[in-house]
């Protein structure tokens, strides 16, 4: 089974958690994209009723609308039943790094408030400690990017301003900010670092999601593994 097949497998498994009348946080990225398309099919086939998606990005919103998932915004809902999203790294305590797609801020706003936060990954995302393979994306106010990059040296981190691929210059997030990708040597205490980074003036949010994932579905060659806190 290849990586894409593993992503599809976990996306299909995630549908089992969706019931009628739910508000569902819709994550960003390639794994959740499979979930959104499958969810749209179930809604269109009348296998689910009164399910609304709450997108975490323009990518999720556009895909949901194309797939037949009706969308709502955060200020229209009283509660979020479940949020479904991918991750870039998952440690043994189910702490995460997210934000490869630069959607970390809206993802955290929604997933922090969801009744259940369900994470979908393939097995390549499992790590012994956060920071093992991926940098921590940090969304910053554009005017402050250079001073924050320097201030991150206090944490022994080296940070790069994320550059666009089909755009000249830096990536601009859905919120109009920049992203610094910060490489840390080894993140011993994710919760502590998450809080400390957010204390730097000019930081909007960072991609450490400590203590908020409830369930992680891992796509492996042998099938789906369920990890729970």
**Which residue numbers are catalytic?**
107
Exactly one of 12, 30, 170, 198 binds ligand R5P (CB under 6 A); which one? 30
Binding to ligand R5P in span 47-86, by CB under 6 A: 85-86
Residue 151 or 224 with smaller CB distance to ligand R5P: 224
Least distance to ligand R5P, CB of residue 108, Å:
9
CB of 216 within 8 A of CB of 121?
A: yes
**DSSP 3-state of 60:** helix
Exactly one of 14, 54, 102, 208 binds ligand R5P (CB under 6 A); which one? 102
Least distance to ligand R5P, CB of residue 49, Å:
27
Query: 130 CB contacts (<8 Å, ≥6 apart)?
Result: 89, 91, 95, 96, 97, 136, 187, 190, 208
Residue 68, marked binder: no
> Cα-flanking dihedrals φ and ψ of residue 199, to 5°?
-85, -10
Q: By rule CB under 6 A, what count of residues binds ligand R5P?
A: 17
Tokens of 137: 């994306």
Piece in contact with ligand R5P (CB under 6 A), picked from 13-21, 22-30, 156-164, 174-182: 22-30
Give the pairing type, strands 203-206 and 136-140. antiparallel
Exactly one of 9, 18, 23, 27 binds ligand R5P (CB under 6 A); which one? 27
> Taking CB under 6 A as the rule, does residue 135 contact ligand R5P?
no
Q: Is 168 exposed, middle or buried (0-12, 13-18, 19+ CB in 10 A)?
A: exposed
Exactly one of 14, 40, 82, 88 binds ligand R5P (CB under 6 A); which one? 88
Residue 101, marked binder: yes
> Taking CB under 6 A as the rule, does residue 131 contact ligand R5P?
no
Exactly one of 11, 14, 26, 28 binds ligand R5P (CB under 6 A); which one? 28
In this structure, what DSSP letter does residue 173 have?
A: -
> Taking CB under 6 A as the rule, does residue 114 contact ligand R5P?
no
The edge-to-edge listing of strands for the beta sheet with 96-97 is 89-90, 96-97, 208-209
> Taking CB under 6 A as the rule, does residue 103 contact ligand R5P?
yes
**DSSP 3-state of 182:** strand
Locate all alpha helices (DSSP H) within the chain, ordered by sequence: 3-14, 30-44, 58-67, 104-112, 145-151, 190-198
Exactly one of 25, 53, 99, 190 binds ligand R5P (CB under 6 A); which one? 99
Binding region for ligand R5P (CB under 6 A): 27-31, 85-88, 98-104, 107
């Amino acid at each position: 089974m290849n990586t894409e097949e593993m992503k599809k497998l976990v996306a299909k498994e995630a549908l089992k958690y969706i019931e009628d009348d739910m508000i569902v946080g819709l994550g960003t990225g390639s794994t959740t994209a499979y979930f959104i398309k499958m969810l749209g099919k179930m809604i269109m086939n009348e296998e689910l009723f009164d399910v609304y998606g709450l997108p975490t990005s323009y990518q999720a919103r556009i895909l949901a609308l194309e797939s037949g998932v009706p969308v709502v915004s955060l200020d229209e809902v009283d509660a979020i039943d479940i949020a479904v999203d991918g991750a870039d790294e998952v440690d043994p305590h189910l702490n995460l790094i997210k934000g490869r797609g630069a959607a970390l801020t809206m993802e955290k706003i929604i997933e922090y408030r969801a009744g259940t936060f369900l994470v979908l990954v393939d097995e390549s995302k499992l790590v012994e400690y956060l920071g093992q393979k991926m940098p921590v994306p940090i969304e910053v106010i554009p005017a402050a990017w250079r001073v924050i990059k320097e201030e991150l040296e206090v944490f022994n981190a080296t940070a790069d301003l994320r550059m666009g691929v089909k755009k000249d210059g830096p990536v601009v997030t859905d919120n109009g900010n920049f992203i610094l990708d910060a490489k840390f040597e080894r993140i011993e205490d994710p919760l502590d670092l998450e809080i400390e980074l957010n204390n730097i003036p000019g930081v909007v949010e960072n991609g450490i999601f400590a203590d908020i994932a409830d369930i992680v579905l891992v796509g492996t060659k042998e099938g789906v593994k369920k990890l729970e806190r």
